[in-house]
């Protein structure tokens, strides 16, 4: 059907009004929303929930659901103070901005300017390069950090100076990338205290909570004075003991849903401008830390661009799940707080936004099911990461030596000095960061509180891996006296780590596939012009008798140091050396001779310009034709070792000698087998990275 021109114009106009560029707010039915929330709470079995909604400068809805305290049958309401976890961050950032507005802090000045004797360290440059702004937007380079100090335990909360001394070291270049960090906000609460001359909790109470009417908010442990506080519960429904932090500014605030609605009014610019100017409020919403496409982090707030720009923060820790979302263009905010780790608060916020905004998506998930995990793709190491790495994990109680073996085939292993080699599980590369989990014990006072696992977060910088080893509480279920015990979360602690590549190989790999000469090439120069036939049969590499020499070498690069080669060799005809293995040692080369000078000399040629028949490695072996000999050669920073049939034939200190080769062996470089007037055969040729704990076996 054709429409008249005026109707076409009307249709286009109506279509444009429904487009994402002109999305409108809707009027919700809060009775229906309340019923929906209660049904979800009954369905999940969560103890309690509190919700508040702000629209056009007013709190239009605020209500509690379920229990604040199940044991004492105390119901939750809109004024119940909940532990809000990381929603503490925009509150702390607001405190920083209040001081900046008063001229007591310049957020673009180095954070160290406002600290005491304990300073943030930056191994990538000067520590003073880390600004207050970078602490606010999580680009300071500081790593993962959280510590919970339960009241039922006997571990005192350290001073902020102690925490900064122990963990205040960047694990990536400041300003380079966004990486969420509680410690940054722990340092910010300390800056607030130092610049205001008051305790952090006191300053926030007087300058923010009291100023905007947040009557049911406080920082730290609840006291008897606070009689409407939500008890934290674990996933099994048991009470979690009260706990403290060494990063209060990132985690330690309690607030009610109604109080956070007031806080949202401040940040929507709809009230309390005498507390913080619109310019300072807007500055907090500028995404100076890039999280990903369409997402960024400002000062305590995350910004996500889509059909609507959402300014938000979430919180999660033992017994806590929270969400506060603002839609500034519609002067709308929704807050939802739970006293249990749960997906429900996040879904409540999304549900309410979907009821109040046109085309805002709500996916109606099954709230009882955990988020579906994505399958982990098979790990394929980048060439930059493949190899054997050795270096140090820096802890506040001294360095820990660490070795990593990263293989192209996904075989990745780690070892802390004095401990067992362990497999790195779930290895991955994302954004140039090598990640993975392995077993080990850092053996510091903090990590010794409970069992922990170690996580990699390392970047490749040329011939170094730099970043962090994170010690995190082992949350795997334990069984004690036949009972299932769910561990508590205690800590996640970053330790600056720097490793150097000591070998270009990271796991055992074959050098000869047993089928063809793939990866090898015949040597034809000099004495090899009249080489014998070279072929592969039944898994054996055969060098026919040359006149005088036959040889084959590896194509391409080969490790220079810290490797071990194993192979089997035998003489099939002739009376001279059947194995002349030329191999690299740092910038030089050497040749292992087996069966030379009449058929029985074994040795390394040359050492200090002396041949295999005349230096300290000279040995004799009664070589038998067509008998396989198992040979192992180790080339390390410390020594060169040779074994034949598990008997040591050479052990030479690397740094005490000069190594070179005869000119006749030069065409076999960088790694090749040569026979001299002799027919020889080789099989089962492998190379693997040197393992420091095996040196000198």
| pLDDT score recorded for residue 434 | 95
| pLDDT score recorded for residue 506 | 85
pLDDT band at 404 (very low <50, low <70, confident <90, very high): very high
- Among 126-135, 307-316, 318-327, the range scoring the smallest mean pLDDT is 126-135
Which contacts (CB < 8 Å, 24+ apart) does range 235-243 have?
235/340, 235/341, 235/486, 236/486, 237/45, 237/47, 237/70, 237/340, 239/71, 240/318, 240/319, 240/488, 241/150, 241/151, 241/152, 242/150, 242/151, 243/148, 243/149, 243/150, 243/151, 243/318
86 & 177 share domain: yes
Beta strand extents in 396-532 (DSSP E only)? 400-406, 412-416, 422-423, 425-430, 433-438, 452-461, 464-473, 478-480, 483-485, 491-503, 509-510, 520-522
User: CA angle, 544 as apex, 541 and 550 as ends, to 5°?
Assistant: 90
625 & 648 share domain: yes
CB 219 within 8 A of CB 204: yes
**Residue matched to tokens 């990590």:** 447
Note the pTM of the prediction, 2 decimals: 0.84
CB 471 within 8 A of CB 493: yes
CB 149 within 8 A of CB 244: yes
User: CA angle, 126 as apex, 123 and 129 as ends, to 5°?
Assistant: 115
pLDDT band at 410 (very low <50, low <70, confident <90, very high): confident
CB 313 within 8 A of CB 346: no
- Domain boundary residue among 302, 336, 356? 356
CB 189 within 8 A of CB 114: no
The overall average pLDDT reported for the chain is: 91
**Residue matched to tokens 């039944």:** 538
pLDDT band at 557 (very low <50, low <70, confident <90, very high): confident
Average pLDDT over residues 532-551: 96
Take residue 280 and report the two structure tokens written for it: 């300072």
Average pLDDT over residues 557-562: 88
pLDDT higher than 80, residue 373: no
Measured distance between the N- and C-terminal CA atoms of the chain, rounded to whole angstroms: 89
**Residue matched to tokens 């330790």:** 495
- Domain boundary residue among 305, 333, 356? 356
| pLDDT score recorded for residue 12 | 35
495 & 527 share domain: no
SS3 10: helix
| pLDDT score recorded for residue 1 | 34
| pLDDT score recorded for residue 297 | 98
pLDDT higher than 50, residue 431: yes
Which of residues 669 and 358 earns the better pLDDT score?
669
314 & 435 share domain: no
CATH number at residue 499: 2.40.128
- CB atoms under 10 Å from CB of 431, counted, come to 8
Tell me whether residue 367 is in a domain. no
Tell me whether residue 62 is in a domain. yes
**Residue matched to tokens 């996500």:** 304
| pLDDT score recorded for residue 484 | 62
342 DSSP assignment = -
CB 576 within 8 A of CB 676: yes
- Phi then psi dihedrals of residue 201, to 5 deg: -65, -40
Q: Tell the burial category of 673 from Cβ atoms under 10 Å away from its Cβ (0-12, 13-18, 19+).
A: buried
- Residue 176, C-beta contacts closer than 8 angstroms, at least 6 positions apart: 139, 141
Average pLDDT over residues 429-446: 95
166 & 273 share domain: yes
- Among 8-22, 75-89, 342-356, 588-602, the range scoring the smallest mean pLDDT is 8-22
CB 350 within 8 A of CB 336: no
Beta strand extents in 28-111 (DSSP E only)? 48-55, 58-69, 74-75, 82-83
Structural domain of 82: 25-356
| pLDDT score recorded for residue 481 | 66
518 & 662 share domain: yes
**Partners of residue 320 on adjacent β-strands:** 317
Tell me whether residue 427 is in a domain. yes
CB 603 within 8 A of CB 577: no
| pLDDT score recorded for residue 20 | 41
DSSP string, 642-667: EEETTEEEEEEEGGG--B---GGGGG
602 & 628 share domain: yes
Please give the biggest Cα pair distance in the chain.
107
pLDDT higher than 90, residue 697: no
| pLDDT score recorded for residue 21 | 44
169 & 276 share domain: yes
Q: Are strands 253-255 and 218-219 parallel, antiparallel or unpaired?
A: antiparallel
CATH number at residue 514: 2.60.120.560
pLDDT higher than 60, residue 662: yes
46 & 107 share domain: yes
Q: How far is CA 242 from the centre of its chain?
A: 29
Q: How far is CA 537 from the centre of its chain?
A: 47
Distance in angstroms (rounded) separating the CA atoms of residues 433 and 385: 10
| pLDDT score recorded for residue 408 | 80
pLDDT band at 78 (very low <50, low <70, confident <90, very high): very high
Q: Tell the burial category of 34 from Cβ atoms under 10 Å away from its Cβ (0-12, 13-18, 19+).
A: middle
Distance in angstroms (rounded) separating the CA atoms of residues 149 and 44: 29
pLDDT band at 376 (very low <50, low <70, confident <90, very high): low
Which of residues 42 and 363 earns the better pLDDT score?
42
pLDDT band at 322 (very low <50, low <70, confident <90, very high): very high
Q: How far is CA 40 from the centre of its chain?
A: 35
Take residue 43 and report the two structure tokens written for it: 């369905």
Distance in angstroms (rounded) separating the CA atoms of residues 390 and 500: 5
Tell me whether residue 125 is in a domain. yes
396 & 545 share domain: no
CATH number at residue 340: 3.40.710.10
pLDDT tens, position by position, 11-67: 333 333 333 445 566 788 999 999 999 999 999 999 999 999 999 999 999 999 999
Tell me whether residue 109 is in a domain. yes
Average pLDDT over residues 592-613: 95
231 DSSP assignment = P
Distance in angstroms (rounded) separating the CA atoms of residues 441 and 539: 44
Tell me whether residue 361 is in a domain. no
Rg over CA atoms, the chain:
34
pLDDT band at 480 (very low <50, low <70, confident <90, very high): low
482 & 519 share domain: no
| pLDDT score recorded for residue 631 | 98
Kindly state the helix (H) or strand (E) to which residue 293 belongs, with its residue range: none
Tell me whether residue 678 is in a domain. yes
Q: Are strands 647-653 and 400-406 parallel, antiparallel or unpaired?
A: unpaired
3-state secondary structure 541-561: EEECCCCCEEEEEECCCCCCC
Domain tally, the chain: 3
pLDDT band at 556 (very low <50, low <70, confident <90, very high): confident
- Domain boundary residue among 484, 503, 522? 503
pLDDT tens, position by position, 188-210: 999 999 999 999 999 999 999 99
Take residue 242 and report the two structure tokens written for it: 């009260």
Tell me whether residue 376 is in a domain. no
| pLDDT score recorded for residue 284 | 97
- Phi then psi dihedrals of residue 457, to 5 deg: -145, 90
pLDDT higher than 80, residue 372: no
| pLDDT score recorded for residue 359 | 83
Which of residues 230 and 29 earns the better pLDDT score?
230
- Phi then psi dihedrals of residue 484, to 5 deg: -80, 125
Nearest in space to 337 (alpha carbons), one of 316, 364, 351: 316
- Percent of the chain's residues with pLDDT above 90: 81
pLDDT higher than 60, residue 692: no
628 & 665 share domain: yes
- CB atoms under 10 Å from CB of 316, counted, come to 16
pLDDT tens, position by position, 89-114: 999 999 999 999 999 999 999 999 99
Q: How far is CA 493 from CA 142, 154, 290, in A?
A: 11, 19, 23
Average pLDDT over residues 598-608: 94
| pLDDT score recorded for residue 598 | 87
């Amino acid at each position: 059907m054709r429409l008249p021109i005026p109707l076409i114009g009307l249709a286009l106009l109506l279509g444009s009004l429904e487009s994402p560029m002109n999305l409108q707010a809707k009027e919700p039915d809060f009775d229906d929303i309340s019923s929906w929330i209660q049904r979800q709470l009954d369905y999940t079995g969560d103890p309690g929930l509190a919700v508040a909604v702000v629209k056009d400068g007013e709190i239009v809805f605020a209500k509690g659901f379920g229990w604040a305290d199940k044991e004492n049958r105390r119901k939750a309401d809109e004024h119940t103070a909940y532990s809000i976890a990381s929603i503490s961050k925009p509150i702390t950032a607001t405190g920083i901005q209040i001081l900046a507005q008063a001229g007591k802090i310049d957020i673009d000045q180095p954070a160290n300017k406002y600290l005491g004797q304990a300073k943030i360290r930056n191994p990538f440059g000067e520590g003073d390069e880390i600004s207050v702004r970078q602490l606010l937007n999580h680009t300071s380079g500081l790593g993962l950090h959280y510590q919970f100090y339960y009241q039922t335990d006997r571990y005192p909360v350290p001073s902020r100076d102690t925490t900064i001394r122990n963990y205040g070291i960047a694990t990536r270049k400041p300003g380079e990338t966004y990486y969420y960090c509680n410690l940054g906000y722990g340092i910010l609460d300390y800056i607030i205290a130092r610049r205001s001359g008051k305790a952090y909790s006191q300053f926030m109470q007087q300058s923010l909570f009291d100023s905007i009417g947040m009557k049911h908010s406080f920082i730290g442990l609840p006291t008897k004075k606070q009689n409407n506080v939500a008890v934290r519960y674990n996933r099994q429904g048991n009470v979690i003991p009260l706990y403290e932090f060494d990063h209060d500014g990132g985690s330690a605030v309690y607030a009610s849903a109604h109080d956070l609605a007031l806080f949202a009014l401040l940040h929507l610019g709809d009230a309390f401008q005498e507390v913080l100017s619109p310019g300072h409020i807007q500055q907090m919403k500028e995404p100076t830390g890039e999280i990903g496409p369409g997402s960024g982090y400002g000062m305590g707030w995350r910004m996500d661009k889509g059909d609507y720009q959402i300014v938000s923060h979430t919180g999660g820790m033992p017994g806590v799940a929270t969400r506060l979302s603002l839609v500034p263009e519609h002067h709308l905010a929704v807050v939802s707080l739970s006293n249990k780790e749960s997906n429900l608060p996040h879904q409540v916020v999304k549900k309410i936004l979907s009821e109040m905004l046109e085309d805002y998506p709500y996916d109606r998930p099954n709230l009882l099911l955990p988020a579906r995990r994505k399958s982990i793709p098979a790990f394929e190491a980048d060439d930059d990461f493949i190899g054997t790495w050795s270096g140090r994990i820096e802890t506040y109680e001294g360095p820990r030596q660490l070795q990593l073996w990263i293989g192209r085939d996904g075989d990745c292993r780690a070892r802390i000095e004095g401990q067992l080699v362990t497999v790195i599980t779930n290895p991955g590369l994302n954004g140039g960061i090598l990640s993975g989990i392995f077993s080990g014990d850092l053996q510091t006072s903090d990590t010794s509180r409970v069992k922990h696992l170690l996580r990699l977060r390392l970047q490749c910088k040329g011939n170094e891996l730099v970043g962090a080893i994170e010690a995190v509480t082992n949350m795997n279920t334990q069984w004690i006296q036949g009972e299932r015990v769910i561990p508590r979360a205690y800590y996640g602690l970053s330790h600056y780590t720097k490793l150097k590549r000591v070998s270009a190989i990271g796991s055992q790999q074959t050098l000869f596939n047993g089928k063809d000469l793939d990866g090898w090439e015949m040597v034809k120069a000099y004495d090899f012009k009249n080489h014998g036939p070279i072929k592969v049969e039944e898994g054996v590499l055969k060098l026919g008798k040359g006149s005088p020499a036959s040889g084959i070498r590896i194509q391409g690069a080969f490790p220079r140091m810290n490797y071990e080669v194993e192979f089997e060799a035998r003489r099939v005809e002739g009376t001279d050396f059947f194995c002349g293995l030329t191999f690299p040692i740092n910038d030089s080369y050497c040749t292992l001779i087996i069966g030379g000078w009449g058929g029985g000399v074994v040795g390394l040629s040359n050492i200090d310009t002396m041949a295999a028949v005349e230096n300290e490695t000279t040995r004799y072996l009664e070589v038998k034709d067509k008998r396989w000999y198992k040979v192992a050669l180790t080339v390390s920073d410390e020594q060169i070792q040779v074994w034949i049939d598990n008997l040591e034939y050479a052990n030479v200190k690397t740094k005490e000698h000069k190594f070179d080769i005869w000119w006749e062996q030069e065409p076999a470089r960088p790694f090749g087998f040569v026979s001299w007037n002799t027919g020889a055969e080789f099989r089962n040729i492998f190379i693997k990275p040197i393992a420091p704990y095996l040196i000198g076996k």
